[in-house]
Every structure is written in structure tokens, then in C-alpha cells.
Amino acid sequence: MAKEAKVQFICQECGYCSPKWLGKCPDCGGWNTFVEEISSLKPSSTSLDTPSTPIPITQIDSLKLPRLKTGLLELDRVLGGGLVPGSVVLIGGAPGIGKSTLTLQALFNLTKQGLNTLYVSGEESATQIKLRAERLHVEHPRLYLLTETALEHILSSIEKIDVQIVVIDSIQTMFTTALTSAPGSVSQVREVTGKLVRLAKNRNISIFIVGHVTKEGAIAGPRMLEHMVDTVLYFEGEKGHPHRILCAVKNRFGSTNEIGVFEMQEYGLVEVNNPSELFLAERPVNTSGSVIVPILEGSRPILIELQALTSPSFLAMPRRTSIGVDPYRLNLLVAILEKKVGLNLGQQDIFFNVAGGVKIEEPAADLGIVTAIASSFLNKPIPPQWVLLGEVGLTGEVRAITQAEIRLIEAEKMGFKQCIIPQSNLKHLKKTPLPTIGIHKIEKAFEVLF
């Protein structure tokens, strides 16, 4: 007697299975994330390959394949020097941020190298993609378009055309007939991605997978999707600003600290080779609460502007708002200013912003943060041709930072005349591109600036 299909409720955030519907997922804590799915009980028709034999690692020949250059230097930088053949890259970003534009431009540049490429869209028609391609000037006979959502048909087309690069836009619209659940469900996303990964490894095909993001900014679907692919990229940008930032949160073939900066223009994404110039273009001069800090994004130094605003508070608990900086780090530095410098910030609202939408995680910007807050509180502007570097400890000491020399070279290139750095860094500098002042306490920095 044939068994009936089994009904399960699966969390769309983490993949947790439950025999009944639950309002809150006990695994990830998400609310209203359970969706009913019917699991197929028919046996899988996939045949097992010949089992492999364990081999000592010393007897395995290393295969060094040259990376494929996408023609976009910023994208190649984030990928670790180019696209690795046989790799699977997951790109996430908000709607309209430019994911489809980025992948189309990359495919066009790859086709000019004699490679066959395939753009698979499950959301747009071929006519819509054609209109975008004409606007971006990315038409080429080796760039194929396919509007399909069934994975089996997509795999068949890849076999016929013999492509080397594939773009799947987007993974949430694809489905396989081996499962009865709806497209975009956890089971479908996991199964489709798994088959695409096997295809990439077996055929040495590079695949870009475009993914939707949730309202929190994370890629929609289970977190296991990020574990299955080789590289995870996030394409970000502030509303109302034309520039976009591409960063890697996972990369098996390179660093995750690199970022790429693009500017969205009428004819597509244009690379920004000098991000410092972009972020400082609208910087106010001789204004309190503004300071310039050279930060490192991977191996690239970037000059960014830190802005602080303090105002008397009429609330029982003054507000502490930060954009681009960890709010807990901001509260810690405010406490150091009160304790070690004597600034009375207990009844002040403090608003902090990193201009340009950049997010700072390294502690080298601590000295810039405290001086920007002090500058706004004292209403004394910091000299516009100065840059500041240093990590601030709980006792008010200014600690050394990494790679100070290349930061100073970038500051000197952008026309800055003076720099304040930790005393320990000054001792170990082989050369100083611009005049520097070494300090070991934040009080000394305030004596110099104010």
C-alpha cells in the first residue's frame, strides 16, 4: 500500500522542521517564518558515482588555474584577484541596488575574452533584459539569455551551449521538479543551490548566484546557503547616493577585508579608483565636529570623514545615535572622554555619522571619534589639513595601529599636511611622508588640537 506524502512546516530563515505550525521558530527565534511543505516520498533517481579512494595529500597534484578577469577591477579586487574557474559566487543586495547591472557588465567583459556566458533570469523577460543591455552597451554574440525557472531546463541549456560562466538571477525563483514545494522555499533553494554547486565543480563552470535580501539586510533563505557557496558578496548603498560598495563576507580564494566602490551612472556602474576623493568631495571646511581618518579596507587605505554633533538634552537619558560605528564602541569612547579628559557629556545628546555610508570596524579610528565629539562639544574646529590615527584604551592611552605608513602615504597623496599618530608607531616608521606628531595619551592630542 503506497504511503501518503508527509506534510512538514519548515522555517524559511534557518530550515528548522516541525510537524505542526509554530508562531516562533525555536531555533532562530523568527516569527511567522514557518511554511507548509509536502515532502516527496518517491525514491531519488540520482545514481551514485563510483566511490573515491582516500589519497595522501602529498600525492595530490596541485592544479593552478589562472583567474578570469571580469574587466571590473573593483570586482576582481573583492574576489581576490579575479574569478576562480569552477567557483560559485553568491551576490546579495537590496532591490534596485545594481546586482543585475553588475553581473551583466561582468559577463560582457568575459565574453570579449572568447568565453561563452549565459544569463538566466527567472524574474524578467528576454525583452526587458535586452533593453537593459542596449542601455549598458553590453551586447555580444557570445552572451546568451535564458528566461527559465526550471533547473532541469537550465542544466540542459548549459550542456547545449557549452558555457563557462553562468549567472542565476535569482535563486529564489528557481525550482527543481524533484521536489513538490514552492519555488523560494527552503527545500527548493537548498536543492537547487546544491545541484548548481555540483555542476560548477564537475564541469569547471563559474556561477554567479543572485539572492534576495530580507528587511534586516541578510540574504533571504537559510544560512546554510552561504555555507554551500565559495564566495558571498554583499552589494550595498545608501538611498539617495549614487555610489555602491561591494564587500565580501566569505571568500575561500581571497581576503574578506577588501571592498570595491562603484558609482551608478546612466550607462551602468562605473568603478571608483580613488574612493578617498569620492568620500571627501563634499566635506565642510572649518566646521566643528568633523575630522578625517585614514582607514584600511583590506590592503586599500581610504580617507573618510567622521562627523559628530552634540547638543544639550532635555531627556532623562540622553540619546546616543551612531551610523557606521558600533554604538557600544561609541558609548565606551564617550565614557573615556568624561573620565580622562573631564568633558561633561552626561547631559548631551550625541549623534555620530561616518560620511558616505562606510562602516568602520577597526579601532584605528578611535582617536578620530573622540576628537570629533570633543570638537563639536567645545565648538572648536579641527584644522582641515590634519588627519588622526590611533586606538584609544580604557585608561586614555593611544595604542599603535597596523600599517601606519601606507595610511600616511594616502593622506599625503590627498593633500593633507599634518598627522597625529601613536608615539609607538612614530618610532617604527621608516619614512614619514608628511609631518607627524606622536602622542601616547588623548590629553596630549587635545593640547595640540584645541
Q: Which residues are annotated as a binding site for ATP?
A: 93-100
Which cell numbers in the block locate residue 127? Answer: 525583452
Which residues on adjacent β-strands are paired with residue 310? Answer: 350
Place of cell 510537524: 19
Which cell numbers in the block locate residue 389? Answer: 590615527
Which cell numbers in the block locate residue 43? Answer: 525514491
CA distance 139 to 105: 10
Question: Which residues make up each annotated binding site?
Answer: 93-100
Which cell numbers in the block locate residue 58? Answer: 602529498
Number of DSSP helices (H) and strands (E) in the chain, helices first: 12, 21
**Could you count the other beta carbons within 10 Å of the beta carbon of residue 222?**
22
Gyration radius from the chain CA atoms: 26
Which cell numbers in the block locate residue 4? Answer: 501518503
**Could you count the other beta carbons within 10 Å of the beta carbon of residue 370?**
28
Alpha-carbon separation of residue 351 from 313, 376, 388 (angstroms): 12, 10, 20
Handedness of CA 309, 310, 315, 318 (dihedral sign): positive
Cα–chain center distance at 12: 23
Among 97, 91, 69, 81, residue whose Cα is nearest residue 263 = 97
Cα–chain center distance at 127: 31
Q: Are 108 and 269 in contact (CB under 8 A)?
A: no
Alpha-carbon separation of residue 12 from 95, 122, 222, 417 (angstroms): 19, 20, 6, 54
Q: How does DSSP classify residue 269? A: E
**Could you count the other beta carbons within 10 Å of the beta carbon of residue 265?**
9
Among 320, 302, 289, 425, residue whose Cα is nearest residue 362 = 302
